Amino acid sequence: MNILLNNFSTNFNTSPFQSIKNEDYKPAILKLIEDTKLEIEAIVNNTETPTFENTIEVLEFSGQQLDRVTSIFFNLNSAETNDELQKIAQDISPILTEFGNDITLNEALFKKVKHVYDNKDRFNLNTEQSTLLDKKYKSFSRNGANLSEDKKQQLRAIDKQLASLKLKFGENILAETNAFEMLITNEVDLSGLPEGAIEAAKQLAESKNKDGWLITLDYPSYIPFMTYADNRALRKKLAIAFGAKGFKNDKLDNQQHVLDIARLRFERANLLGYNTHAHFVLEERMAQTPEKVNSFLQDLLVKAKPAALREFAQLEQFAKELDNIDQLEKWDSAYYSEKLKQKLFNLDDEQLKPYFKLENVIDGAFQVANKLFGLQFKKIDTIDKYHEDVMTYEVLDENNQLVSIFYADFFPRAGKRNGAWMTSYKPQFIKDGINQRPHISNVCNFTKPTKSKPSLLTFNEVTTLFHEFGHGLHGMLANTTYPSLSGTSVFWDFVELPSQVLENWCYEREALELFAKHYETGEIIPMDLVQKIKESATFQEGMQTLRQLSFGLLDMSWHGVNPSDITNVKQHENKTFENTNLYPDVKENCMSTAFAHIFQGGYSSGYYSYKWAEVLDADAFDYFKEKGIFNKDVATKFKDNVLSKGGTDNPMVLYKRFRGQEPKPEALLKRAGLIK
């Protein structure tokens, strides 16, 4: 029997990891797709008049076991994979994509959904129900369901062209990255580089049967060189090569691809009835309109620019004093910034690590959650794990009621991908009067303990743990009826609020006293060290802000307008960067031709959300600071209006209910030291 085909009869209905065999996945997923198709056919074939209940709700609750099995599969393919799982993933991913397309292109199903949507006033829906209806309807309409047959074909043709252009764009960048090598044969040219970077460069050269040290455009090679190498001419050479990707008028050039992608996105949006691509994207974002995004970016620019200019002047003077540099160039930026930072703060990871033993930090995160939301974390050993390193917890509320199951998987190993993330093995939802509690997981890659030393985290790892734990709380405290609106299923520019806001506790004395204790002496972290952490965290924040804003503005300049007037990529860029440039332009370089985030990945009309999320988290935390960082009233408001509500309402509405007003950038500017 295939264990994946039945509802799991495990403790807490958890995933039966130990009993799943790799060969179970594909047949189970194929069978569950067929089952889900039958569920959908039943909606289509229902002869009653379509209602919210018999159409939208049934659609929402269809395919539940399929969702559980695919989440187990894809979560493990990230956290504990092997060749076999990867092969299965390649097999089933296209099948699942096709199945998803079959649903959004199902005209008979859309007719039913549209009927409910057009008659929504008759159904007396609550907010969560109208949000769900809207979401279901748009999943069809935004894919062209309302278009005539010939326009539908136009849309498919555009989608096909876009897919191949994006692919080509990415392939060119990759080919450019791989084509460049800088071989260093004179040891003097390595001056300034840390030992680790030299070692890596040596190994890279050896792997290619070369004598010397090899530097490439890959980040792990590029970043240390730009940050530490004393040889200015080589930094210049490397920086120009990096910035010239896709901009050499050769066969790997991306200029025409940029123009074509922008034009096709614009045409696609028009076809679907939107003014621009940005209007199309932002309809499903907290920011809602390009006007709002542009005014957000411009407002921050005006407020951050004076600080950026001050910081730049300080850096210029520092470089002048140190090396008699007359004109600071782009390739000097990371190098002198790092030197200045060292001079000002002299803070390194090794000083801090003894205060951040992993067990203490985990306990600290749990204590913060307890003080804010009354949560208790109890270790349990009666549920399955997919690896012995995984720690499992039962999460209870103040009345000892189950809130969630929590998996914490913190150490690197061969089958785990890099980075840190939150995910879930079972969603939260309410059905047949039962509130199904979620199963949430945090996966990170922290330093493992050794025989003689426990796992000691860098400060960056501490904030990462709190960040993912914040996403985790968003999942754990979810309390909605429908699974697709639950927990972190919110608009994109809202999802980082719970995670980023939680990072703030890592900088507060009251919170650090709970857990930042020296692993040998038990001494609490000295406050002057904490002050230094805070100050160094906002080092050159004005310049950083300007840089982020320039990317956001560039993104909007391609997607928030009719791009057919743009004929020269570089000229367009220079015009867009006029107000954000600190360094002289490098004529061989172009940003757009290698801006994979927006031209290849999913960030088009979305780059602003990095800053947007920071504004949100600073503004939210400001409320806590005002009333006390463990103030129960504020915490409860945050839980009741944000964490538990998922995507059941417009995020701006949720936020205003918590905060009493729209978010303002002042708290961020103050936290970043840009205004007093």
Which positions are catalytic?
A: 468
CA-to-CA separations, 641 to 103, 111, 276, 333, 665, in angstroms, rounded:
32, 34, 32, 43, 21
SS3 sequence, 254-297?
CHHHHHHHHHHHHHHHHHCCCCCHHHHHHCCCCCCCHHHHHHHH
CA-to-CA separations, 160 to 96, 142, 166, 179, 321, in angstroms, rounded:
18, 16, 10, 28, 56
**Of residues 499 and 550, the one with the C-beta less far from Zn ion:** 499
Question: 432 Cβ partners below 8 Å, 6+ apart?
Answer: none
- Residues touching Zn ion, count (CB under 5 A): 1
Whole-number Å distance between alpha carbons of 498 and 516: 22
CB of 385 to Zn ion, least distance (A): 24
Q: Which stretch binds Zn ion (CB under 5 A): 50-58, 299-307, 308-316, 498-506?
A: 498-506
CB of 333 closer than 8 Å to CB of 523: no
Q: Which stretch binds Zn ion (CB under 5 A): 169-177, 370-378, 379-387, 499-507?
A: 499-507
Site for Zn ion in 181-210 (CB under 5 A): none
Neighbours of 563 (CB within 10 A): 23
**Of residues 74 and 421, the one with the C-beta less far from Zn ion:** 421
- x/- string (CB under 5 A) for Zn ion, residues 105-124? --------------------
CB of 470 to Zn ion, least distance (A): 8
CB of 425 closer than 8 Å to CB of 75: yes
Q: Which amino acid is at 96?
A: L
CB of 286 to Zn ion, least distance (A): 15
Neighbours of 435 (CB within 10 A): 14
CB of 107 to Zn ion, least distance (A): 38
**Of residues 312 and 469, the one with the C-beta less far from Zn ion:** 469
Query: Which two three-digit tokens encode residue 389?
Result: 């390193």
**Of residues 131 and 499, the one with the C-beta less far from Zn ion:** 499
CB of 495 to Zn ion, least distance (A): 7
Whole-number Å distance between alpha carbons of 385 and 388: 7
Whole-number Å distance between alpha carbons of 282 and 233: 43
Q: Which stretch binds Zn ion (CB under 5 A): 125-133, 358-366, 494-502, 658-666?
A: 494-502
**Of residues 499 and 592, the one with the C-beta less far from Zn ion:** 499
**Of residues 141 and 499, the one with the C-beta less far from Zn ion:** 499
Question: Which residue's Cβ lies closest to Zn ion?
Answer: 499
Whole-number Å distance between alpha carbons of 211 and 213: 7
Per CB under 5 A, the list member of 499, 548, 580, 600 interacting with Zn ion is: 499
**Of residues 144 and 498, the one with the C-beta less far from Zn ion:** 498
Helices (H) then strands (E): counts for the chain: 27, 9
Site for Zn ion in 423-452 (CB under 5 A): none
Neighbours of 183 (CB within 10 A): 14
Any bridge partners for residue 395, and if so which?
377, 404
CB of 183 to Zn ion, least distance (A): 38
**Of residues 394 and 503, the one with the C-beta less far from Zn ion:** 503
Query: Which two three-digit tokens encode residue 171?
Result: 């392939």
Whole-number Å distance between alpha carbons of 464 and 461: 5
Question: 298 Cβ partners below 8 Å, 6+ apart?
Answer: none
**Of residues 484 and 499, the one with the C-beta less far from Zn ion:** 499
Neighbours of 146 (CB within 10 A): 15
Closest to 394 in 3D by CA, of 10, 5, 11:
11
Site for Zn ion in 277-296 (CB under 5 A): none
Site for Zn ion in 466-485 (CB under 5 A): none
Q: Which stretch binds Zn ion (CB under 5 A): 286-294, 495-503, 579-587, 650-658?
A: 495-503
**Of residues 494 and 539, the one with the C-beta less far from Zn ion:** 494
Helix (H, G, I), strand (E, B) or coil at 1: coil
The torsion of the CA quartet 431, 433, 434, 438, rounded to 10 degrees, works out to: 50
- Say if residue 274 is exposed, middle or buried (CB neighbours under 10 Å; 0-12, 13-18, 19+): middle
Q: Which long-range contacts (CB under 8 A, 24 or more apart) does 151-160 make?
A: 151/271, 154/271, 155/268, 155/271, 155/272, 158/264, 158/267, 158/268, 158/271, 159/268
**Of residues 272 and 420, the one with the C-beta less far from Zn ion:** 420
Question: Which residue in the block uniquely carries the two structure tokens 């802000």?
Answer: 545
Q: What is the DSSP code string of 335-357?
A: HHHHHHHHHHH---HHHHGGG-B
Closest to 305 in 3D by CA, of 578, 533, 591:
578
Q: Does residue number 550 form part of the binding site for Zn ion (CB under 5 A)? A: no
Q: Which stretch binds Zn ion (CB under 5 A): 313-321, 410-418, 491-499, 555-563?
A: 491-499
Name the DSSP letter for residue 252: T
CB of 76 closer than 8 Å to CB of 85: yes
Site for Zn ion in 35-64 (CB under 5 A): none
Q: Which stretch binds Zn ion (CB under 5 A): 27-35, 345-353, 496-504, 619-627?
A: 496-504
Helix (H, G, I), strand (E, B) or coil at 68: helix
CB of 476 to Zn ion, least distance (A): 15
Q: Which stretch binds Zn ion (CB under 5 A): 68-76, 118-126, 407-415, 497-505?
A: 497-505
**Of residues 361 and 497, the one with the C-beta less far from Zn ion:** 497
CB of 471 to Zn ion, least distance (A): 6
Q: Where are the beta strands (DSSP E) in 78-120?
A: none
CB of 423 to Zn ion, least distance (A): 12
CB of 513 to Zn ion, least distance (A): 26
CB of 175 to Zn ion, least distance (A): 31
CB of 460 to Zn ion, least distance (A): 14
Footprint of Zn ion on this chain (CB under 5 A)?
A: 499
